[in-house]
Structure 1
Amino acid sequence: MAFKEETKLPLKLLVDKERNRVVVAEAGGELVDILFSFLTLPLGTIIRLLSNKHGKDEAKEIGCINNLYRSVESSGDEILWNKICKRMLLSPRNPCEELCQKLKLNVDDTEPIKYFMCSNKCQRGSDYVLSTFAEASCSCGKLMDKQMKLYGNSNKGSHADGVFVKGETIYLIFDDLRVLQSSLGKSVQQLLQLGYKNFHNLTEKSLNVGLNEILDILKQALTSQSPLSDVLLGNGECKKVWTFSPKHRPKDQDRIDSNSHINLKVTVRKLKETILYAEAEGDFVDFLFSFLTTPLGCILKLLDGNFSMGCMNNLYKSVKDLNPSWFTRSLGTTPLLNLQVAPQFSCGKQPTQLCEENIPNYWYSMSTTSSNGVISKEYSQIQRPSLMKLFEPRSPNGTKKSTVGFVRRPSLFVVWDDLQVTPLANTSSISLLQKLNVPLDDLEEHELRLEEIEALNLMGASLTSKAALTEGLFYLLKKPKA
Structure 2
Amino acid sequence: MASNMAPKQEQTFTLRLLVDREKNRVVVAEASGDFIDTLFSFLTLPLGTIIRLLSNNQQHDQPAELGCISNLYQSVENSSVEVFWNHICKEMLLRPQNNCEPLCRKLKLNVDDTESLRYFMCSNCKKGSNWLLSTFTGASCCSCGKSMDKEMKLLGDSEDETHTDGVFVKGEAMYFILDDLRVLQSSPNNFVKELTQLGYRNFHKLIDISPCVGLKEMLELMKRALTSNSPLSDVFLASEESKPLYTFSPKVGGKPTQIKRIKIFARKSLKKIVYAEAEEDFVDFLFSFLTTPIGSTMKLLDGNASLGCINNLYKSVKNFSSLWFMGNSNDLLLDPQVAPRFGLRTGLQLFSEQQDPIYYYGSNDAISRNPSLVKDACYMKLFEPRFSDGFKLGFVKRPSLFVVWDDLHVTPMANASSISLLQNINAPLDDLEEHVISIGKAEAINLLGASLTSKAALTEGLFSTS
Q: How far, CA to CA, are the matches of 2:31 and 2:424 in structure 1?
A: 54
Match for residue 308 of structure 1 among 286, 306, 309: 306
Indicate conservation of the 8 Å contact 1:134/1:143, yes or no.
no
- Partner of 1:459 in structure 2? 448
- Partner of 1:93 in structure 2? 97
Q: How far, CA to CA, are the matches of 2:214 and 2:390 in structure 1?
A: 45
Q: Give, as a single letter, the amino acid of the residue that structure 2 aligns with 1:131.
A: S
Q: Secondary structure at the match of 1:243?
A: strand
Counterparts in 2 of 1:403 and 1:144: CA distance versus 1, 3 Å? farther
Q: Does 1:356 align with 2:353?
A: yes
Counterparts in 2 of 1:176 and 1:122: CA distance versus 1, 3 Å? farther
Instruction: Report the RMSD for the aligned CA atoms in angstroms.
Output: 1.7
Q: How far, CA to CA, are the matches of 1:402 and 1:334 in structure 2?
A: 28
Match for residue 397 of structure 2 among 408, 423, 445: 408
Match for residue 210 of structure 2 among 184, 189, 206: 206
Aligned length: 461
How far off is 1:156 after superposition? Answer: 3.4
Q: Does 1:435 align with 2:412?
A: no
- Partner of 2:378 in structure 1? 386
Counterparts in 2 of 1:113 and 1:363: CA distance versus 1, 3 Å? same
Q: Give, as a single letter, the amino acid of the residue that structure 1 aligns with 2:278.
A: A
- Partner of 1:255 in structure 2? 256
Q: How far, CA to CA, are the matches of 2:358 and 2:390 in structure 1?
A: 17
Q: How far, CA to CA, are the matches of 1:336 and 1:444 in structure 2?
A: 44
TM-score (norm 1): 0.92
Counterparts in 2 of 1:254 and 1:334: CA distance versus 1, 3 Å? closer
Counterparts in 2 of 1:445 and 1:400: CA distance versus 1, 3 Å? closer
Query: Which stretches of structure 1, 4 residues or more, deviate above 6 A after TM superposition?
Result: none
Q: In terms of mean alpha carbon deviation, does 89-98 or 78-87 score higher?
A: 78-87
- Note the alpha carbon deviations across 1:77-112, whole angstroms, 9 max, x for none: 331111101110110000100000000000000011
- Partner of 1:40 in structure 2? 44
How far off is 1:141 after superposition? Answer: 1.4
How far off is 1:55 after superposition? Answer: 6.4
Match for residue 131 of structure 1 among 113, 130, 134: 134
How far off is 1:134 after superposition? Answer: 2.2
How far off is 1:314 after superposition? Answer: 0.2
How far off is 1:316 after superposition? Answer: 0.3
Q: Secondary structure at the match of 2:224?
A: helix
Q: Secondary structure at the match of 2:447?
A: helix
Q: Secondary structure at the match of 2:393?
A: coil
- Partner of 1:275 in structure 2? 273
Q: How far, CA to CA, are the matches of 2:357 and 2:385 in structure 1?
A: 16
Indicate conservation of the 8 Å contact 1:262/1:351, yes or no.
yes
How far off is 1:56 after superposition? Answer: 10
How far off is 1:354 after superposition? Answer: 0.9
Q: Give, as a single letter, the amino acid of the residue that structure 1 aligns with 2:197.
A: Q
Q: Does 1:342 align with 2:339?
A: yes
Indicate conservation of the 8 Å contact 2:121/2:148, yes or no.
yes
Q: How far, CA to CA, are the matches of 2:274 and 2:60 in structure 1?
A: 26
How far off is 1:51 after superposition? Answer: 1.2
Q: Give, as a single letter, the amino acid of the residue that structure 2 aligns with 1:322.
A: F
How far off is 1:333 after superposition? Answer: 4.9
Q: How far, CA to CA, are the matches of 1:332 and 1:341 in structure 2?
A: 16
How far off is 1:400 after superposition? Answer: 8.5
- Partner of 1:245 in structure 2? 249
For structure 1, the residue ranges without an aligned partner over 5 or more in a row are 478-482
- Note the alpha carbon deviations across 1:302-335, whole angstroms, 9 max, x for none: 000001100000000000001011012x447541
Counterparts in 2 of 1:430 and 1:45: CA distance versus 1, 3 Å? same
- Partner of 2:157 in structure 1? 153
State, as a whole percentage, how many aligned pairs show the same letter: 59
Counterparts in 2 of 1:402 and 1:303: CA distance versus 1, 3 Å? closer
How far off is 1:351 after superposition? Answer: 2.0
How far off is 1:431 after superposition? Answer: 2.3
Indicate conservation of the 8 Å contact 2:125/2:144, yes or no.
no
TM-score (norm 2): 0.95
- Partner of 1:220 in structure 2? 224
Q: How far, CA to CA, are the matches of 2:420 and 2:329 in structure 1?
A: 59
- Partner of 2:413 in structure 1? 424
Q: Secondary structure at the match of 1:279?
A: strand
- Partner of 1:480 in structure 2? none
